[in-house]
């Protein structure tokens, strides 16, 4: 990745499901990334997936995919564990058709296991997924995400460990989720830089060359994430310090907006970055 990318999670509502209109809207808005929302399962047929991939290439849009919310790799129910793996295998197989380079997912809850036991189960499940279909993804990564709820598997340390232990894994840093997990602490330059350094020290170029970020406003309780909110309004986190670090350090992440108006959120983040660029000239 040789530049910072910005885009929404999911299709713009104005497209009304018209896939050609989706990419027209994104191009007109001036964004260059899209996270395809397969959050209720990857139900797209192969011919439609190919159309999405072709339109993405024509429009210069970098594609990622958010896999199903109900993946639960450490579930108490063996069948749920297996179907969770199958969903990721299918996502990898569809990735080349859709020009998808990142498959974002939540590993799930602990399933009554200790944190150590859950890590082992989730690690082994992802190794199995990668052994089955990693090469079929044609360069697509599995991208486990920081979880917003404290009861879920997905702390900084857990995501780093997965990416160290499983071939084909890179982290998705959801900054709103981190803000919620840490009760509002991840909101300034010092804390953003500390976390980025933690990932870079642990994962090196694998992280630096494949940065994938989620951004949004958020509300939270003592249990973590409560609800996503618009960016740039009264809800945290403040992403300006993060954008400042990205520009100063020369990082080239993809910013995916998961705010309540995702395209507006992506444009807000892009505006901040471009204003900083202007100010440096």
What average pLDDT score do residues 268-277 get?
Answer: 95
Predicted confidence (pLDDT) at residue 1 exceeds the cutoff of 70: no
| Cα–Cα distance for residue pair 68/259, rounded to 1 Å | 18
Q: Please give the C-alpha separations between residue 10 and each of 37, 61, 214, 258, in angstroms, as whole numbers.
A: 5, 13, 12, 8
Predicted confidence (pLDDT) at residue 26 exceeds the cutoff of 70: yes
What average pLDDT score do residues 164-176 get?
Answer: 98
pLDDT, one tens digit per residue, over 139-149 is 999 999 999 99
**What one-character DSSP code corresponds to residue 258?**
-
What average pLDDT score do residues 41-70 get?
Answer: 96
Q: Which domain holds residue 253?
A: 5-279
pLDDT, one tens digit per residue, over 104-152 is 999 999 989 999 999 999 999 999 999 999 999 999 999 999 999 999 9
- Count of domains observed in the chain: 1
* pTM for this prediction: 0.96
Token match 């494949």: residue?
210
Predicted confidence (pLDDT) at residue 281 exceeds the cutoff of 90: no
Count CB-CB contacts under 10 A for residue 197: 11
Residue 225: which CATH number? 3.20.20.150
């Amino acid at each position: 990745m040789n530049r910072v990318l910005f885009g929404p999670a999911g299709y713009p509502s104005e497209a009304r499901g018209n896939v050609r209109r989706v990419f027209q809207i994104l191009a007109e808005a001036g964004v260059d990334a899209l996270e395809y929302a397969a959050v209720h399962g990857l139900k797209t047929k192969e011919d439609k997936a190919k159309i999405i991939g072709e339109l993405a290439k024509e429009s210069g849009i970098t594609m990622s995919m958010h896999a199903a919310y109900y993946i639960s790799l450490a579930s108490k129910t063996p069948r749920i564990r297996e179907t969770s793996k199958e969903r990721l295998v299918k996502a990898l197989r569809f990735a080349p058709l859709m020009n998808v380079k990142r498959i974002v997912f939540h590993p799930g809850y602990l399933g009554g296991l200790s944190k150590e036991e859950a890590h082992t189960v989730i690690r082994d499940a992802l190794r199995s997924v990668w052994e089955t279909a990693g090469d079929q993804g044609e360069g697509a990564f599995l991208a486990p995400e920081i979880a917003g709820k404290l009861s879920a598997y997905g702390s900084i340390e857990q995501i780093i460990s997965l990416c160290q232990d499983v071939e084909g894994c890179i982290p998705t840093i959801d900054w709103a989720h981190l803000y919620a997990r840490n009760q509002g602490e991840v909101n300034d330059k010092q804390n953003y830089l500390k976390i980025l350094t933690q990932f870079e020290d642990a994962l090196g170029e694998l992280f630096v060359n494949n940065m994938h970020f989620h951004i949004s406003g958020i509300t939270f309780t003592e249990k973590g994430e409560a609800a996503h909110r618009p960016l740039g309004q009264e809800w945290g986190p403040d992403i300006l310090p993060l954008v400042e670090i990205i520009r100063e350090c020369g990082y080239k992440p993809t910013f995916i907006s998961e705010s309540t108006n995702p395209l507006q959120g992506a444009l807000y983040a892009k505006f901040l970055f471009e204003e900083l660029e202007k100010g440096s000239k």
